[in-house]
Amino acid sequence: MQPLSGVKVLDLTRIVSGPFATMLLGDLGAEIIKIEEPVSGDESRTYGPPFVNGESAYFLSINRNKKSCAINLKKPEGIALIRELALKSDVLIENFRPGTLKKFGLSYEELKKQNPGLIYCAITGFGQTGPDSHRPGYDLIIQGESGVMDITGDPDGPPTKVGTSIADLLTGQYASQGVLAALVERSRTGKGRRVEVAMYDCLASLLTFNAGGYFATGNTPKRKGNSHPSIVPYETFETLDGWINIGVANDKFWNSFCKIIDRLDLQNDPKFAMASDRVKNRLELLPIIREIIKGNKKSHWIGLLEKAGIPSGMIKNVGEVCDSEQLISRGMILNMPHPTAGIVKNIDSPLRFDDLNDEVHVAPPILGQHTHEILSKVLKISPDEIKLLEEKGAIKCANI
C-alpha cells in the first residue's frame, strides 16, 4: 500500500504548477480527480509541438496517475457537482486567480462549513495579499521578478532564465509539501487547513546565500555564469572535445587537484593555498586552470578527477540523461500504456520507500475519460442523470 492510499484529492488546477503538485501526490498513492473544462480541457493539452497522436507531450509529462472528470464551471449544474465532490474529498487544490472560486461559492470558508476536515490548497502567482496579488503567475515572469534571472547567465550577457519551468515546478513541490503537512496535522486534530503557496515566494526562497550576502553587506550579487561566488575553482571548463564541470570544494581537493594538473607551485603559492585566498584571487587563478584543462580531452580529466575523488562531471544533454544507464537501472523511466498515444514515457518521482520502486503508474488521461466513473461511483448519480447533464453541457464523458 502506498503512503497516501485512501486520500482523495480534487484537482482544480491546470497548466504546470498545480498539475505538478497533484501528480506528486498521485505518485504517493492519492486518488486524483482532475476537473477539466469540457471543450478543450487543461490549457496544456494544446501546448506543442510535439504531439503524440494528438496528445501534447507537455501535458503527458505532468499528469500521470489522475482521473479526468470534465465539468463545466459556467453551468450551475457543474458548480453543484464540484461542490459535492469537494465535500467528499480530503484535499482540494486550485490555482485560479485570488477570489475566483469565491464567486462560485467554492471558497474554503464556504466548503469547510460542511467539510471541516477539508485541506484547501490555493496556488497563485504573487499571493493572496500584497500590491502584486492581482497579477497572473507565469514562469518566465516569476523568474524575472524573483531575482533568479538576474543572477543566472554570463556576467557580460543578458539575464537568463533557468532551462526548465523552475518557478512552476518548485511551487508544485512546495504545494505538495504543504498538503502533506496539513494531512499530518489533521490526523491529530481532525480539522482541515487552508494552505497558500505563491510562485513568487517559492522562487524567492531559492535565493538563500545570495539573499544572505545582500542582507550581510547591502550589496546585491552579480551574475557569475557557471562559477561560484564562494568557491574557486568550482565551475564549467572547456576541454579539447567539450565541456566538463569541476568542483574543487575544499583545500583537501585543491591539493589533490594541483597534483593532477601537475602544478604543485599553485598548491604552495600563498595566493591560492587557502579557499578564501582562491576566491580573492580568482581572476588570476582561473585563466591558468582554464588553459591547462583545455589541453586534454573530457575523458582524460574525468578519469583522473574521479580517481582522486574530486567532484566532476560531464555536461549531458536531455537525451543522454533520459537514456542514461543510471536512471534506467534505478527504474526512473516509466512506460505507461495510453488510450491514444501508445506507450507514454515519464521520469518517475525520485522518492523511494524501503528502497522499493514497484508502484504501478497510470498514463495521463484523455479529456473526460473518467467523468462517468467519478459521477456514478463517488456521487452515486444514475446513468440517466449523467446523460441529462451531458445534454445540458454541464459535463463531458469520453468514449474510449
Catalytic annotation, pick one of 168, 241, 323, 358: 168
Domain ranges, ordered by start, for the chain: 8-205+325-396, 234-316
- Residue 71 pairs in a beta bridge with 395
Question: Which option is the CATH number for 234-316: 3.40.50.150, 3.30.365.10, 3.30.70.890, 3.30.1540.10?
Answer: 3.30.1540.10
Instruction: Quote the CA–CA distance of 382 and 213 in Å, as a whole number.
Output: 62
Would you call 277 a catalytic residue per the annotation?
no
Mean predicted lDDT score pLDDT of the chain: 96
Contact 10, 85 (CB under 8 A): yes
Instruction: Quote the CA–CA distance of 208 and 193 in Å, as a whole number.
Output: 28
Q: In this structure, is the dihedral angle defined by the CA atoms of residues 145, 150, 152 and 154, taken in order, positive or negative? A: positive
pLDDT at 236 over 80: yes
Superfamily of domain 8-205+325-396: Crotonobetainyl-coa:carnitine coa-transferase; domain 1 (3.40.50.10540)
The pTM assigned to this predicted structure is: 0.93
pLDDT of residue 98: 93
Helices within the chain (DSSP H only): 17-27, 57-60, 76-87, 108-114, 139-145, 166-189, 199-204, 208-217, 251-260, 264-268, 275-280, 282-293, 298-308, 318-322, 325-329, 371-377, 383-391
For residue 291, how far is the Cα from the chain centroid? 38
Contact 368, 68 (CB under 8 A): yes
Condensed to tens digits (0 to 9), the pLDDT of residues 151-202 reads 999 999 999 999 999 999 999 999 999 999 999 999 999 999 999 999 999 9
pLDDT of residue 171: 98
Condensed to tens digits (0 to 9), the pLDDT of residues 12-59 reads 999 999 999 999 999 999 999 999 999 999 999 999 999 999 999 999
For the chain, give percent helix, strand, coil, nearest 5.
40, 15, 40
Per-residue burial over 171-204, b if 16 or more Cβ lie within 10 Å, else e, is bbbbbbebbbebbeebeeeeebbbbbbbbbbbbb
pLDDT of residue 358: 64
Instruction: Quote the CA–CA distance of 61 and 335 in Å, as a whole number.
Output: 12
Please classify residue 27 by burial: count the beta carbons closer than 10 Å to its beta carbon, then call 0-12 exposed, 13-18 middle and 19+ buried: buried
In 3-state terms, what secondary structure has residue 128?
A: coil
Contact 173, 121 (CB under 8 A): no
Contact 35, 53 (CB under 8 A): no
Q: pLDDT-derived band of residue 150, with 50, 70 and 90 as boundaries?
A: very high
Quickly count: other Cβ atoms within 10 Å of residue 144's Cβ.
15
Q: Percentage of residues in the chain with pLDDT exceeding 70?
A: 99
**Mean pLDDT score, 88-112:** 96
pLDDT of residue 399: 79
Q: pLDDT-derived band of residue 357, with 50, 70 and 90 as boundaries?
A: low
Contact 86, 11 (CB under 8 A): no
* Cross-sheet strand order for the sheet of 395-396: 193-198, 119-124, 91-94, 8-12, 31-36, 67-71, 395-396
Instruction: Quote the CA–CA distance of 264 and 249 in Å, as a whole number.
Output: 18
pLDDT at 359 over 90: no
Please classify residue 374 by burial: count the beta carbons closer than 10 Å to its beta carbon, then call 0-12 exposed, 13-18 middle and 19+ buried: buried
Condensed to tens digits (0 to 9), the pLDDT of residues 64-76 reads 999 999 999 999 9
Instruction: Quote the CA–CA distance of 348 and 335 in Å, as a whole number.
Output: 10
pLDDT at 102 over 70: yes
Q: pLDDT-derived band of residue 352, with 50, 70 and 90 as boundaries?
A: confident
**Mean pLDDT score, 317-340:** 96
Using the 8-state DSSP alphabet, how is residue 399 labeled? Answer: -
Instruction: Quote the CA–CA distance of 197 and 122 in Å, as a whole number.
Output: 6
Using the 8-state DSSP alphabet, how is residue 250 labeled? Answer: S
Instruction: Quote the CA–CA distance of 325 and 152 in Å, as a whole number.
Output: 30
pLDDT at 300 over 90: yes
pLDDT at 361 over 70: yes
Condensed to tens digits (0 to 9), the pLDDT of residues 246-293 reads 999 999 999 999 999 999 999 989 999 999 999 999 999 999 999 999
